[in-house]
Amino acid sequence: MSRQAILALEDGTVFRGEAFGAEAVRTGEVVFNTAITGYQEVFTDPSYTGQIVVLTYPHIGNYGANSSDSEARRPYIEGLAVRDFNVTPSNWRAEMSADEFLRRDGIPVISGIDARALVRKLRTQGAMRGALSTAGHSAEELVEMARRTPPMAGLDLATRVTTAERYEWTEKLAPCSPSEHIGLQPAGEFRVVAYDFGIKHNILRCLASIGARVAVVPASTPAEDVLALKPHGVFLSNGPGDPEPLEGPVREIRKLLGRVPVFGICLGHQLLGLALGGRTFKLKFGHHGINHPVLHYRTNRVEITVQNHGFCVDPDSLNANEIELTHINLNDQTLEGLRHRSLPLFCVQYHPEAAAGPHDSRYLFEDFAALMKEFHQ
């Protein structure tokens, strides 16, 4: 006998469907992701902390889950909403069903809803707070829970997901097709310190693949401790929540500017923008998917990119005499990349490690290697 699940939004809208995953109630910001594949990578991306994810592709769970495709040690989504959730996977790599994968970490799932109607609402009205229950709560209770949920703006979530202590990473990318943009380099050419604001495993693999020995450090690590490790470069990772409450990390990043090459991705891009004197703002419904077109001004080429963020750097808040804008989103003209005109630093809003997703932007890791090599000549 199937269980009932209910997803309620702060505006009183209610979706009823079939329950899968854990018997639980979770709250968070409801956002949608347009990826057709890579749902396990979505589940385990720490940048989704505090968010209930709606997947626009209708059939989820077809290929199950396995121990290789996770981007972190566990799922970080608060809940999942889909049109059709498959509990019987058919794939030689499957080690368990997606249902079991989410259930063991307490993540509730609602299936059988009109996901297109939900996404249209979020696109029109913006991301909303919501409550998802597979544990028998009433719609009225869930609407009230959604309204009591803290809004994403103002939330410091990165310090919730960061590593508690420093660790080393050595695993490289697996051998890939001829289209792979990173040529694997011998280990040890560079020492890179990576700030963990919610870092994904494939970012670390990409850094290791350019020859870096990577030390991953907590979000609160002082700049002096980072420099004491004598890095060739510093990496600022992706992560969840609003960048503006992270005043401590911004202060430490500012101390690093000009002293060592810096490369930032996603939240790292936003924090670097703040360290350079800029401001950030919240997007209406964010960018979440593996199919977002971005124009690279320097090459005049369009890259199809992987994105997962709800905030953006305001380009008008940056000093144009010091900062070069390098990439722009072709869907809504928001800023997607920048570099300093004299200091050794650059960053992008999207995810060039692309797990899952196209590899159009993997060259950025080689650009980071080239910057480190040039700076330390």
Asked if residue 233 is part of any domain, the answer here is yes
DSSP 131-182: EEESS---HHHHHHHHHHSPPSTT---HHHHS-SS-EEE---PPP--TT-S-
27: containing domain: 4-148
Is 80 exceeded by the pLDDT of residue 134?
A: yes
Question: Average pLDDT of 177-198?
Answer: 74
Task: For residue 351, indicate whether it is catalytic.
Answer: yes
Asked if residue 279 is part of any domain, the answer here is yes
pLDDT band of residue 2 (cuts 50, 70, 90) is confident
What is the per-residue pLDDT across 156-184, written as a single tens digit (0 to 9) for each? 999 999 999 999 999 998 765 444 555 55
Contacts of 355 (CB under 8 A, 6+ apart): 38, 41, 69, 71, 200, 201, 202, 306
Q: Is 84 exposed, middle or buried (0-12, 13-18, 19+ CB in 10 A)?
A: middle
List 266, 287, 336, 347, catalytic entry: 266
Number of domains in the chain: 2
CATH number at residue 268: 3.40.50.880
Looking at the structure, do residues 236 and 173 belong to the same domain, yes or no?
yes
Domain end (from 126, 148, 170): 148
Q: What is the DSSP letter of 65?
A: B
Planar angle of CA 55, 58, 59, nearest 5 degrees: 105
Question: At what angle are helices 201-209 and 363-375 packed, to 10 degrees?
Answer: 50
Domain end (from 148, 177, 201): 148
Nearest Cα to Cα of residue 329 among 370, 355, 361: 361
What pLDDT is stored for residue 179 in this prediction? 47
Residue 85 contacts residue 56 (beta carbons within 8 Å): no
Looking at the structure, do residues 58 and 193 belong to the same domain, yes or no?
no
What is the per-residue pLDDT across 270-289, written as a single tens digit (0 to 9) for each? 999 999 999 999 999 999 99
Looking at the structure, do residues 99 and 175 belong to the same domain, yes or no?
no
Residue with tokens 């199919």: 291
List 232, 292, 327, 351, catalytic entry: 351
What pLDDT is stored for residue 355 in this prediction? 87
Looking at the structure, do residues 236 and 306 belong to the same domain, yes or no?
yes
Question: Average pLDDT of 242-267?
Answer: 98
For residue 348, CA distances in Å to 125, 268, 313 come to 27, 8, 10
List 252, 303, 336, 353, catalytic entry: 353
Question: Average pLDDT of 190-203?
Answer: 97
Looking at the structure, do residues 11 and 123 belong to the same domain, yes or no?
yes
CA–CA gap between residue 251 and residue 377 (Å, rounded): 28
What pLDDT is stored for residue 175 in this prediction? 64
φ, ψ at 317 (rounded to 5°): -90, -5
What pLDDT is stored for residue 132 in this prediction? 98
Residue 292 contacts residue 343 (beta carbons within 8 Å): no
Looking at the structure, do residues 95 and 140 belong to the same domain, yes or no?
yes
Domain end (from 112, 127, 148): 148
CA torsion 346-226-260-342 (nearest 10°) is 60
DSSP 216-242: EEETT--HHHHHHT--SEEEE---SS-
Q: Both tokens of residue 251? A: 């202060």
For residue 40, count other CB atoms closer than 10 A to its CB: 23
Task: For residue 171, indicate whether it is catalytic.
Answer: no
For residue 125, CA distances in Å to 80, 131, 263, 284 come to 20, 17, 34, 8
Sign for the pseudo-dihedral over CA of 84, 86, 90, 95: positive
What is the per-residue pLDDT across 57-95, written as a single tens digit (0 to 9) for each? 999 999 999 999 999 999 999 999 999 999 999 999 999
Looking at the structure, do residues 219 and 326 belong to the same domain, yes or no?
yes
Task: For residue 353, indicate whether it is catalytic.
Answer: yes
Asked if residue 153 is part of any domain, the answer here is no
